[in-house]
Structure 1
Amino acid sequence: MRIKQISVSGLFGIFDHVIPLNMDERTTIIHCPNGFGKTAILRILNSFFNSRYADLRAIPFRIFRVEFDDNTNVEIIKNAENAEGLETNSIVLNFYKHDLKPLSFTLMRVNSRSDREVFMSVSSDDIMPEREQLYPPRFMNIPIEKIRHLEDYLQGFYSVSSSNFKSQEEPDWLKKLKSNIPIRLIESQRLLNFIPNRSSKRSAETPSMLSTVSAYSDELAKLMQDKFKEYGTISQSLDRTFPIRVVKQQSSADLTDEQLRDQLNELEATRSRLIEVGLLDKDEDSEFQIQPQDIDESTKNALSVYVEDVEKKLSVFAEIASKIDLLRKIINNKFAYSYKEINFSKEKGFVVTTSYDSPLSNSKTLLPTDLSSGEQHELVLLYELLFKVQPNSLVLIDEPELSLHVGWQVQFLKDLQDITQLADLNILMATHSPDIIQDRWDLTVELKGPQK
C-alpha cells in the first residue's frame, strides 16, 4: 500500500495544494516560494501517521486528504461542525473505502489549567469526565512549543494516556492504516538530537542536546558489534558440528575442481570487502590458494562443507555491509575535496582521517564533530536514509540542500536514487534549490498561491 496523492485545503487560511506522487521513480520533489507551506505539508503528513496530534493541532489548515494506490483515502478535517452546524475544537478523521460507509474517528481537544493545549485520542461517542486527570503533572509543565520538538516526551505522554484510557485508543482500522504506511520525517534541523535527562527525579526534565553525528557514530558501532556477535554465535555452532558433517558429506560428482576454486575465491573476495568496511578484522592466515594437485575426493568433500559454512557465516553481514559500502562511497567522493576520508570500525563507528598536514595538530584523526556543518548534514542525512528507515517507507526530507556546496547539490539526486534502490524507499522532499533538481523537473510539483 502506497500513497499516490496528498492534498490540503485552507493551509494557513490561504493555500490549496494538490501533490501527486511519482509512483514509478518513487521520488517526488515539491518546490515553491517561501511561506507557501511545503514544510507544513511534510509535518502534517508525519504528524498524522505517527500520531503526533499536538503537532497536527499546531498547523492551521481546514482539510488534509491522503489518497492511496488501492483507491482508498483518509481525510483530516479540523474544527469540523457538529450536528447543530456549530464549529468545534476537534479534528475528525474519515476513512473512505470504495463504496462502503466511511469510518470516522474524532480527536477532542483538552485544555490544561494554564491554557496550553494537548490532544487526546477519543472516539466520537466517548464521554470524557474529569478532563484535568488525563495527563500527569510532569507533562503540564512543558510548553506545547517545546513538546512538539521532543519525541520522547510526546511518546511518554501518549503511552501514559493510552495505558489509563484503554477504551479511548485509536480504532483498529486507524492503527492498521498507519502500520501499512511507515513515514519518517528528516527535518531541516538535523545536527542536534534532544535527549531527555532521565537521571533526575524532577517533575519536568530539562532535555540535553547531543550532536547527531556523534550519536549516529555510536549507534553504527553498536550495530556493527551486534552483527559481529551474531556472526560469532553462528560460527561456534557450525564449527562444533563441522567434523561430523564432513564425515557424513556425500561425494558430489557434479562439483568440479574449477567450480570449487571459484567458490573459494568468491569467499575471499567477500571477506576482503567485509574487512574493508570494518566488519571483520584482517586475518593474514585467511588467504590461501588451492592448487589443482591439492584437491582429491576427500579434500573436495571437506572444502564443499567449508564453503557452505563460510557462506552462512558471512551472510550475516550482507545487508549492513552493502549499506556501509554505499555510504562510504558517496561520502568519500565528497570528502576528497577537503582532504578527508571516512572509514568505519566496530569500536568507534565513524572514523574520519585527514591527509592534510596541519601545523596546529599532528593528529590525522578527526572527531565526527570536527566536520563542517555541510559535511555533517550530508553524513547525517545519508545515514538516516540507509540505517534508520524501514523498507517501503515514505521518507519526507525537508531542504536537503542546507549547508551543501553547489557541487554536492548537483550530485544529491543521483546519490539519493542509489540509496532508495538499495534501501527500498519512497521519497517526498521539499527544496528551494534548482541545483538539487537539475534536469529532473519531471519529478517536481510546484505549489502555487491563489490568483490575485
Structure 2
Amino acid sequence: MRIKQISVSGLFGIFDHVIPLNMDERITIIHGPNGFGKTAILRILNSFFNSRYAELRAIPFRNFRVEFDDTTSVEIIKNSDNAEDSETNNIGFNFYNHDSKPAYFALKQPDREVFISYGSDDSIREQIYPLIFRGYSTEKTLSLEDSVEVYDSFSSSKLKLKEEPDWLEKLKDNIHIRLIESQRLLNVVPNRSSRRSVETPSMLSTVSAYSDELAKLMQDKFKEYGTTSQSLDRTFPVRVVKQQPSTDLTDEQLRHQLYELEATRSRLIEVGLLDKDEDAEFQIQPQDIDESTKNALAVYVEDVGKKLSVFAEIATKIDLLRKIINNKFAYSYKEINFSKEKGFVVTTSYGSSLSNSKTLLPTDLSSGEQHELVLLYELLFKVKPNSLVLIDEPELSLHVGWQVQFLKDLQDITQLADLNILMATHSPDIIQDRWDLTVELKGPQK
C-alpha cells in the first residue's frame, strides 16, 4: 500500500495544493517560494501517520487528503460542520474504502493532562488531574498528546492514544512515514542518571549518536555471526560424514566458490565487520583440493556462506555509505571508515605519507559534512523498507557540487533500501535536469 497523491486546501487560510507522487521513479520533489507550505505539508503527513496530533492541530489548514494506490483515501478535516465535530479546534478523519460508507472519527480537544516518569522500565503513570512532566529542560505541564510526542521522541517504546479506532490503527500500520527535518544535527536521546536510575532526555550531536548506534549494530551482527559459527561448527563433523559425494560439483566450481568467499571476507574486512586475522579457516587455498578433501570442502563452503550471509544487508549499506561519503570528503582530504568499536572513523591526511594521517571525532566534521552523513545514515539505517521518507531542505549547508550529485546518490539509496521519497527544496542544483520529478506549489489565482 503506497501513497499516490496528497492534496491540501486552506493551508494558512490561503493555499490549495495537489501533489501527485511519482509511483515509478519513487522520488517526488516539491518546490516553490518561501511561505507556500512545503514544510507544512511534510509536517501534516508526518503528524497524522505518527499520531502527533498536537502538532497537527498547530498547523492551519482546512482539509488534507491522502489517496492510496488501492483506491482508498483518508481525509483530515478541521473545524468541520459535522455534528460530532462541533467543538473548536477538533479534527475529523474520514476514511473512504471503495464503495462502502466512509468511516468517521472525531479527535476531540484534549481535556486531561498526563504525568510521565522515566524509570528503568520506561514506566508511565497517568493521573486524572493536571500534574507536571519532569526531566526535560524545564518542568512543564503537558497535554496527553504532547506528552506522548515528547516521550516518543527519545524512547524506544511507542505510545498510542487509546481512542483511535481500529481502521485508523490499521492504516498507520500499513503506511510508514519518516520525516528528516532541516534541523538534523542535534538529537534527543535518553540519559540515565546514576543517582536516581532515571532516564531523562538530553541533547547530543546526531552524528555522534549515529556513530555509537552503528557501532552497536555492527557488534550485534558480529555476535550473530559468532552464534551461527558455533552452531555450524558443532555439527560440521557429522554433516561431513553424512555428506554424499556430489558428481555435479566440479573442481573448478569449488575453486570459484572459494575465491568468492575470500572476496566476500575481504569486503567485510574493508567495511569493518571482520578483523583481518579473523578465522584462519578462510585461508584454505583452491590448489589444495583433491578427491579426498572435495566432500569436506563442499560442506565447508556451504557453512562459510551461511556465516558470512549474516553480514550481507548491513555490509551492502555500509559499503554504499562509505562510497558516497568518501566521494564527497575527498575534497577536504578526509576519509571515513567504520569499526565495531567506534562506529564512524574519520581520518584526514594531506599527501601520500601515512605519518600525516590524523583521526578526527565525528563532531570535528563541518556542518555540511555532518548534514550529509546524518541524512544518508538515516536513509540507509533508520527507515523501514517501503516507507515514504519526507526530506526537508536537503541542500542545507551543502556545497553546490554536492547538491548536483545529491539526486543521483538518492536514487542509489532508494533502490537499495526500497524507499519512496517526497522532498521539499529551493535548490535548482539538486533538481538539475529532472524537472519531470517536480511539483511546483503555486499561489491562488488572482
TM-score, normalized by the shorter chain, greater than 0.5 = yes
Deviations 1:1-29 (A, max 9, x none): 00000000100001000000000000000
Deviations 1:34-86 (A, max 9, x none): 00000000000000000000110010000000000011100000111243995
Instruction: Name the residue aligned to 1:289.
Output: 285
Q: Determine what percentage of the aligned residue pairs are the same residue.
A: 81
Q: CA deviation at 1:194?
A: 1.8
Per the alignment, in what secondary structure is the counterpart of residue 323 of structure 1? helix
Q: CA deviation at 1:152?
A: 2.5
Q: Answer yes or no: is the 8 Å Cα contact 1:65–1:73 preserved in 2.
A: yes
Q: CA deviation at 1:408?
A: 0.1
Structure 1 residues 51 and 84: CA distance shift in structure 2, 3 A: closer
Per the alignment, in what secondary structure is the counterpart of residue 6 of structure 1? strand
Instruction: Name the residue aligned to 2:338.
Output: 344
Aligned equivalents of 2:35 and 2:392: distance in 1? Answer: 14
Q: Answer yes or no: is the 8 Å Cα contact 1:81–1:87 preserved in 2.
A: no
Instruction: Name the residue aligned to 2:254.
Output: 260
Instruction: Name the residue aligned to 2:123.
Output: none
Q: Answer yes or no: is the 8 Å Cα contact 2:112–2:130 preserved in 1.
A: no
Q: Among residues 176, 182, 189, which one is paired with 1:188 in the alignment?
A: 182
Aligned equivalents of 1:254 and 1:132: distance in 2? Answer: 71
Which ranges in structure 2 are unaligned for 5 or more consecutive residues? Answer: 115-125
1:449 paired with 2:443, answer yes
Instruction: Name the residue aligned to 1:232.
Output: 226
The letter for the 2-side match of 1:229 is K
Instruction: Name the residue aligned to 1:388.
Output: 382
The letter for the 1-side match of 2:26 is R
Structure 1 residues 355 and 98: CA distance shift in structure 2, 3 A: same
Which ranges in structure 1 are unaligned for 5 or more consecutive residues? Answer: 117-130, 163-167
Instruction: Name the residue aligned to 1:67.
Output: 67
Aligned equivalents of 1:86 and 1:24: distance in 2? Answer: 41
The letter for the 1-side match of 2:275 is D
Aligned equivalents of 1:60 and 1:227: distance in 2? Answer: 46
Structure 1 residues 263 and 24: CA distance shift in structure 2, 3 A: same
Structure 1 residues 255 and 11: CA distance shift in structure 2, 3 A: same
Q: Answer yes or no: is the 8 Å Cα contact 2:186–2:205 preserved in 1.
A: yes
The letter for the 1-side match of 2:140 is N
The letter for the 2-side match of 1:269 is A
Q: CA deviation at 1:253?
A: 0.8
Aligned equivalents of 2:333 and 2:218: distance in 1? Answer: 26
1:81 paired with 2:76, answer no
Q: Among residues 92, 113, 133, which one is paired with 2:128 in the alignment?
A: 133
Aligned equivalents of 2:55 and 2:147: distance in 1? Answer: 6
Deviations 1:139-159 (A, max 9, x none): 782468x95996436688x97
Q: How many residues align?
A: 423
Q: CA deviation at 1:172?
A: 1.1
The letter for the 2-side match of 1:308 is E
Q: Answer yes or no: is the 8 Å Cα contact 2:65–2:74 preserved in 1.
A: yes
Instruction: Name the residue aligned to 2:118.
Output: none
The letter for the 2-side match of 1:141 is K
1:3 paired with 2:3, answer yes
The letter for the 2-side match of 1:261 is R
The letter for the 1-side match of 2:53 is Y
Q: Answer yes or no: is the 8 Å Cα contact 1:217–1:350 preserved in 2.
A: yes
Q: Answer yes or no: is the 8 Å Cα contact 1:352–1:368 preserved in 2.
A: yes
Q: Answer yes or no: is the 8 Å Cα contact 1:394–1:425 preserved in 2.
A: yes
Instruction: Name the residue aligned to 1:123.
Output: none
The letter for the 2-side match of 1:64 is F
Q: Answer yes or no: is the 8 Å Cα contact 2:8–2:64 preserved in 1.
A: yes
Q: Answer yes or no: is the 8 Å Cα contact 1:81–1:88 preserved in 2.
A: no
Per the alignment, in what secondary structure is the counterpart of residue 220 of structure 1? helix
The letter for the 2-side match of 1:69 is D
The letter for the 1-side match of 2:375 is L
The letter for the 2-side match of 1:172 is D
Instruction: Name the residue aligned to 1:251.
Output: 245
Per the alignment, in what secondary structure is the counterpart of residue 137 of structure 1? coil
Q: Among residues 285, 296, 317, which one is paired with 1:323 in the alignment?
A: 317
Deviations 1:172-223 (A, max 9, x none): 1111111111000000000001235553999x99742100000000000000
TM-score by length of 1: 0.87
Q: Among residues 148, 163, 174, which one is paired with 1:169 in the alignment?
A: 163
Q: CA deviation at 1:296?
A: 2.7
Structure 1 residues 135 and 251: CA distance shift in structure 2, 3 A: farther
Structure 1 residues 265 and 393: CA distance shift in structure 2, 3 A: same
The letter for the 2-side match of 1:23 is M
Deviations 1:411-444 (A, max 9, x none): 0000000000000000000000000000000000
Q: CA deviation at 1:295?
A: 2.8
Q: Answer yes or no: is the 8 Å Cα contact 2:395–2:427 preserved in 1.
A: yes
Structure 1 residues 155 and 174: CA distance shift in structure 2, 3 A: farther
Deviations 1:250-294 (A, max 9, x none): 000111110100000000000000000000001284334222xx4
Q: CA deviation at 1:362?
A: 7.2
Q: Among residues 406, 418, 423, which one is paired with 1:424 in the alignment?
A: 418
